[in-house]
Structure formats: C-alpha cells, structure tokens
Amino acid sequence: MSLYILINNFLFLFIGTERPNVFNMVEMSAEDFYKHVLWAGGLAYTELTLNSTDVKEFLKKDNKFDLVINEQFFQEALYTLAYKYNAPLALVSTFGNCMRHNVVVRNPLQLATVTSEYLDVREPSSFWGRFRNLYFTAYEYFWWKFWYLKKQEELVKKYLPEIANDVPSFYTLQNNVSLFMSNSHFSFDPATALLPNIVEIGGVHLSKSNASLPADLQKLLDDAKDGVIYISFGSNVKSSEIPLEKKKDFIKVFKRLEKYTILWKWEDDHFEDKPPNLVTRKWFPQKEILVHPNIKLFISHGGLIGMQEAIFNGIPLVGVPVYADQYNNLLIAEQAGFCKILSYHDINENTLYNTVSEILNHNSYMEKAKEVSRRFKDRPMSALDTAMFWIEYVIRNKGAEYMKNPARNMNWFASNMIDVYATILLASIIVIVALVKIIKSLLSFLSLNKIKINTKKKIA
C-alpha cells in the first residue's frame, strides 16, 4: 500500500518574509544563512507538516511499519515516527558528507577534509580554511544541539503530545540511526572514512530514466550541429531576476556565440532583444537535455542535483555560485578540471565570454568531464540498487544494531579518548615537573659545594 502526502508550500511564506531576489543571497554569510533560512525554514516546514490535516489523520491510524525513512535536513521532530512505530530509522541526505551527518551516526568529523557544505572558503585545506571550518562547525553544533533541537522537541510536545513524554531525546534517537544514505560518491566528492551504516548513493535520481525529450526539443537539439549551451540556475534562483545590466552582458555574449544554440531556463514570458540563437522556456526537462550529445556546456549555479546530472553525462560547466553548497560543489569540479567558476560579481561581457570560450575551445574540459562521468558510473551496482539493497538489509536484520558505531553508547570524552589522553598528559607533566625539581636541587647542591670550595681556597 502506498500513500503520498505532499506538503507543498513555499518556504518564504512560512518564515514570514517576502521571497527575496535569491541573487542577493550571494552576500549572505553561512551564519546568516543558517539563522534566516535553514533554521527558520526547518522549523516552519516541520510545523507545517505536523499541523497538516492529512498528516494528522494518517498518524491517528493504526499503521505498522518495518522501517521509517526520514530526510536529515532540519526536521528532527519527524524522527519520533520511528519511535512511534517501533521501527528502525534510516536517514537520507540530499547532500554529501558533512558535520551534521557525521555527528548523527558518530562518524569521525574529519574537519581537515570535510568542509561544511555552506562555507565558501577558497582554500579549504589551508590553515585559515581549516580554522574557519572548525569555528563554523562549533557555531553550528552548539546552536543546533542546545537551541534548534529544543525547538524541534517543542513541536513534538505540541503536535504529538501522546508520545512526547516517553520519546528519547532527539540526540539519542539520531545516534540510534540504522542506516544513513548520503548523496555523494567518492569518484567525485572527497574520499572520507565512513562507517558501514553510511552508504553513498550519489546520483540516485539518475539510475532510472526512461523519459525522452519532447519532439520539438529533440529536433532543436538534433539540428544544433555546432553545439548547444544550456543555462539554468535551478528552481530557487530565478534567472529572470538577474539584474538588467548582467542580463545585457549575457545577451551580448550570446550574440558573439552565434553558431551555438543556447537554451536558457527563463521564468518570464518577456525577453527583450532576444538573439535568434537563444531559446528560453520557463522549464526544461534538464535531465533529458543533458543526455543529448550536442550539449557542449552547462552554465549552472552549482546546485548538487544539476551538478550530478552534468557529471553523469560528462558535461563541462561554467559555475556561478549563488548560495548554500553551490560554491563547494563547483570548487570540487573546478579542481577536477571540468569546470570554471565565475563569481557573480565578476560577470560582465568579457569575463563571461572568456570563461565560456575557454571551455568551448579547449578539449581538455570535455575530456575530463567524460572521464569523471565514467568513474561516477563505475560501481558494482547502480546508486538506486545500492539504496534498495541496504534498506532491505536493515529491515531483514531488524535495524542491524551491529552496524552502528559502538562509540555512540560512550561519553563524548571516552569515545574521543580524552580521558586517556588527559591522564597521559597529566602523568607526563608530573614526571617533567619532578625531573625539573630534581635537576634544580642537584644543580644548586653542586654550586653550593663549589662556593664552599672557593671560599675554602680564599681562606687558605
């Protein structure tokens, strides 16, 4: 039996603000992004879900489940469903590895190589890059653990009062997670240590696709023998909100690239001064478009799902990061050699033309993209089959207790060996202090004797 309740509403309505022009979020610090978007939005969405009539009706019914699957993204209150149904909990993330995920299952943090997905540090492995990462991780961790989780617990008290008093703390609930599915893959994302109950299912939405292009787009792409450039800033960032002078720069560049067909996801009916090689639509079937062999370049904001579609199909990128994890995704692609990042503020006719031409005129970007595509697909089984296997595995093995990190039942100082290190440190200090004392008294004893000998000599 399947039942699908869609909680559908626009985020900004619920955090009580107007929808901002998302391009302005380029300026936002990671701290502000958390405060104003992630935490505010997470609480609003969780409340919207728990207060939904359909959800309330559903929770009243006497259902039984073998497993509860939750997204891990600022809606911890919903983990209580695993408790309610006495079923193991599996979490899925639309991101790759990050502090929150590692803390949840007590996987090592690896802060030197796992950078918070929302930080845009230019050199993550430099001293300052790692320093910023540690600072931000501490900031996020303490606010999340001591403030955000409490807010989520209040929502459970309000909407699920019948179980609110018995349910373990969210911290305990999430430490007890049976399976964590991460939308990453080491063929693209940095290789990290993962516990056996963390599985990488990067590109899971790409495993099965039997959709084909609508006839008009198919013809358009087939006819574009010199190549196609596809532009989309995703669903949250609206291309049509781009400031006029930047739009004009884009148009000038398109005119100079006249042999290419250009598809631009543009959310408005009007488009003044449209060059003949430009096709705009409010929506494009992106996944199917990027499969087409005539696509030469994807100009993207670097959202992870679109990036994975580009990686899967071996398409080089020009990335204009706007907010959230976009900069980091693009940075990895740039370091891998199939992407060029162009800062939003740096966009003008010349920079845009040069960056696009750099990629179109040098084969290395396309070759690298194809190479990464090959290794992204080179797995024992598809991402979707991997996810299905482990979900069924956890159900078969009743939550697979033995896959969970035993460290989760220890104190934080014990699991981090702090007590042992502290004892060794203390013992070393005692030994050193004792040695220093002994040497000092030996020395003063010796010099005392010397003085005595000297004085004796003088008298003599």
Ligand X SMILES: *[C@@H]1O[C@H](CO)[C@@H](O)[C@H](O)[C@H]1NC(C)=O
Q: Write down the least CB distance from residue 345 to ligand X, Å.
A: 38
> What burial letters (b/e) apply to 42-57, b meaning 16+ CB within 10 Å?
bbbbbbbbbebeebee
CB 193 within 8 A of CB 213: no
CB 135 within 8 A of CB 118: no
From 70, 80, 107, 178, residue interacting with ligand X (rule: CB under 6 A): 178
Here the tokens at position 424 are: 């060794």
- The answer to whether 168 contacts ligand X (rule: CB under 6 A) is yes
- The answer to whether 88 contacts ligand X (rule: CB under 6 A) is yes
CA–CA gap between residue 203 and residue 182 (Å, rounded): 10
Q: Write down the least CB distance from residue 65 to ligand X, Å.
A: 12
From 23, 37, 40, 47, residue interacting with ligand X (rule: CB under 6 A): 47
- The answer to whether 202 contacts ligand X (rule: CB under 6 A) is no
The size of the interface with ligand X (CB under 6 A), counted in residues, is 11
CA 411 to mean position of chain CA atoms: 28
- The answer to whether 42 contacts ligand X (rule: CB under 6 A) is no
Region near ligand X per CB under 6 A, out of 20-28, 47-55, 200-208, 273-281: 47-55
Q: Phi/psi of residue 441, each to 5°?
A: -70, -35
Here the tokens at position 357 are: 């031409």
Region near ligand X per CB under 6 A, out of 144-152, 169-177, 231-239, 343-351: 169-177
Q: Write down the least CB distance from residue 414 to ligand X, Å.
A: 19
Q: Write down the least CB distance from residue 149 to ligand X, Å.
A: 15
CB 57 within 8 A of CB 143: no
From 17, 21, 24, 51, residue interacting with ligand X (rule: CB under 6 A): 51
Residue 14 or 344: the one with the smaller Cβ distance to ligand X is 14
Region near ligand X per CB under 6 A, out of 113-121, 171-179, 269-277, 339-347: 171-179
CA–CA gap between residue 200 and residue 208 (Å, rounded): 17
Q: Phi/psi of residue 204, each to 5°?
A: -60, -30
Region near ligand X per CB under 6 A, out of 101-109, 167-175, 281-289, 343-351: 167-175
Residue 306 or 399: the one with the smaller Cβ distance to ligand X is 399
**Burial class for 365, CB neighbours closer than 10 Å (0-12, 13-18, 19+):** buried
- The answer to whether 76 contacts ligand X (rule: CB under 6 A) is no
Here the tokens at position 215 are: 């006839």
- Looking at residue 404, its amino acid is K
Residue 174 or 386: the one with the smaller Cβ distance to ligand X is 174
CB 264 within 8 A of CB 242: no
- What CA–CA distances, in Å, run from 197 to 211, 271, 305, 376? 33, 50, 23, 21
Residue 157 or 437: the one with the smaller Cβ distance to ligand X is 157
From 115, 152, 174, 176, residue interacting with ligand X (rule: CB under 6 A): 176
Q: Write down the least CB distance from residue 167 to ligand X, Å.
A: 9
Region near ligand X per CB under 6 A, out of 166-174, 236-244, 245-253, 374-382: 166-174
Here the tokens at position 91 are: 């979490």
Q: Write down the least CB distance from residue 47 to ligand X, Å.
A: 6
The CB-nearest residue to ligand X is: 399
Residue 26 or 403: the one with the smaller Cβ distance to ligand X is 403
**Burial class for 205, CB neighbours closer than 10 Å (0-12, 13-18, 19+):** middle
Q: Write down the least CB distance from residue 15 to ligand X, Å.
A: 12
**Considering only residues 400-429, where is the footprint of ligand X by CB under 6 A?**
401
Q: In what order do the strands lie in the sheet with 198-200?
A: 68-71, 89-93, 179-182, 198-200
Q: Phi/psi of residue 447, each to 5°?
A: -65, -30
3-state secondary structure of 122: coil
**Considering only residues 381-400, where is the footprint of ligand X by CB under 6 A?**
399
Residue ranges binding ligand X (CB under 6 A): 47, 51, 53, 88, 168, 172-173, 176, 178, 399, 401
